[in-house]
């Protein structure tokens, strides 16, 4: 297990990440962010929430993005050495652009404003709990599969 | 057109998260992920403002779905919270989740109040 890196976007405690800032890194983050945001828009368009309805699309976008970052970070930090642009493109760009915190906050405000404060509070807490559980499951399952594959 | 606006907004927001995160981390040396908290709070304030105006559909696609959506992140927040707990910093993990919710909602409501004040 690697220790030190806590922030999957960029963690300056990791010597390699202190020196990684370059145009190529910023370009792949921008490209990944655009793809992730389009995927989120697609999910929200396919499953639109009514003003007082539970925002299922954003909920599942955030939870699935958390599951995937758990898988990704274990693969590229514990299982194998990845190309230097893999984490910026997939982790910072695609998953960072796919998941969103600002929409989550405004969703809660909208539910409260439309007279559904209980739904707002449930959504507020359920997203955070499900997000953390999803990251944990993604990391745990990936570590187990990596151990099985290594045997 | 909506898709183009989202792409351009997100192509600006995602690198800005990366650069802002780096800049915030360079200013201190603790395990607490202040950088992610900062971008999530800032993005929530901007989107809270835009949603309360309310801004037009083009502005919302560019600045809301694209820019604020890509500037803010849940995957990084979730991963950091789990990593802090794994490293034995349980208090930091719980504080990170709680502070994100409290500061993010507070920022969203401040943005909305500002929108009502100027419109």
Domain that holds residue B11: 2-118
DSSP code string of chain A: ---S---SS--TTSHHHHT--SHHHHHHHHHHHHHHHHHHHHHHHHSPPPTTS--HHHHHHHHHHHHHHHHHHHIIIII----TTHIIIIIIIIIHHHS-SHHHHHHHHHHHHTT-HHHHHHHHHHHHHHHHHHHHHHHHHHHHHHHHHH-
CA of residue A150 relative to chain centroid, distance: 27
- Over residues B9-65, the pLDDT tens digits come to 999 999 999 999 999 999 988 889 999 999 999 999 999 999 999 999 999 999 999
Q: Residue B108 above 70 pLDDT?
A: yes
Give a yes or no: residue A60 inside a domain: yes
**pLDDT beyond 80 at A2:** no
DSSP 8-state code for residue B53: T
Residue B28's pLDDT is what? 85
Give domain status of residue A71, yes or no: yes
**Residue A10 placed within a domain:** no
Note the pLDDT tens digit of each residue in A82-141.
999 999 999 999 999 999 999 999 999 999 999 999 999 999 999 999 999 999 999 999
Note the pLDDT of residue A5.
86
pLDDT bracket for residue A1 (50, 70, 90)? very low
Domains of chain B: total = 1
The percentage of chain B sitting over the pLDDT mark of 70, rounded to a whole number, equals 100
Q: With an 8 Å Cβ cutoff, are A134 and B78 in contact?
A: yes
Residues 77 through 136 of chain A touching chain B, CB cutoff 8 Å: 88, 91-93, 95-106, 108-110, 124, 127-128, 131-132, 134-136
pLDDT of residue A4: 67
User: What is the rounded average pLDDT of the residues A144-149?
Assistant: 93
Residue B29's pLDDT is 83
CA end-to-end span of chain A, whole Å? 17
CB-nearest partner of A100 from B51, B72, B87: B72
Does ipTM come in above 0.90? Answer: yes
Asked whether residue A7 is assigned to any structural domain, the reply reads no
> What is the residue range of A59's domain?
15-150
Query: How many angstroms away from the CA of B118 is the closest CA of chain A?
Result: 19
How many domains does chain A divide into?
Answer: 1
Q: Cα B52–B45–A41 angle (5° rounding)? A: 75
Which residues of A fall within a CB distance of 8 Å from B74?
62, 65-66, 99-101, 104, 127, 131
State if pTM tops 0.90: yes
**Residue B68 pLDDT > 60:** yes
Q: How high is the pLDDT of residue A3?
A: 54
Query: Which among B19, B11, B15, B77 has a CA at the least distance from the CA of B44?
Result: B77
> Using one digit for the tens of pLDDT, what is the confidence trace for A27-80?
999 999 999 999 999 999 999 988 899 999 999 999 999 999 999 999 999 998
């Amino acid at each position: 297990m690697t220790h030190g890196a806590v922030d999957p976007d960029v963690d300056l405690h990791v010597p390699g990440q202190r020196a990684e800032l370059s145009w190529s890194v910023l370009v792949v983050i921008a490209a990944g962010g655009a793809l992730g945001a389009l995927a989120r828009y697609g999910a929200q368009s396919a499953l639109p929430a009514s003003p007082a309805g539970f925002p299922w699309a954003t909920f599942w976008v955030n939870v699935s993005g958390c599951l995937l970052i758990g898988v990704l970070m274990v693969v590229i930090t514990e299982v194998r050495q990845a190309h230097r642009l893999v984490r910026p493109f997939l982790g910072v760009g695609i998953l960072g652009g796919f998941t969103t915190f600002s929409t989550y906050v405004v969703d809660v405000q909208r539910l409260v404003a439309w007279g559904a404060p209980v739904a707002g509070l449930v959504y507020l807490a359920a997203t955070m709990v499900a997000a953390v559980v999803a990251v944990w499951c993604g990391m745990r399952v990936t570590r187990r599969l990596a151990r099985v594959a290594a045997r | 057109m909506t898709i183009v606006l989202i792409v351009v907004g997100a192509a600006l927001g995602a690198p800005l998260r990366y650069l802002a995160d780096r800049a915030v981390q360079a200013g201190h040396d603790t395990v607490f992920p202040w950088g992610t908290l900062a971008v999530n709070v800032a993005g929530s304030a901007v989107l809270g403002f835009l949603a309360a105006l309310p801004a037009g559909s083009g502005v919302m696609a560019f600045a809301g779905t694209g820019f604020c959506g890509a500037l803010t992140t849940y995957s990084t927040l979730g991963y950091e919270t789990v990593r802090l707990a794994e490293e034995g910093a349980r208090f930091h993990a719980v504080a990170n989740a709680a502070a994100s919710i409290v500061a993010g909602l507070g920022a969203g409501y401040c943005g909305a109040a500002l929108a009502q004040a100027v419109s």
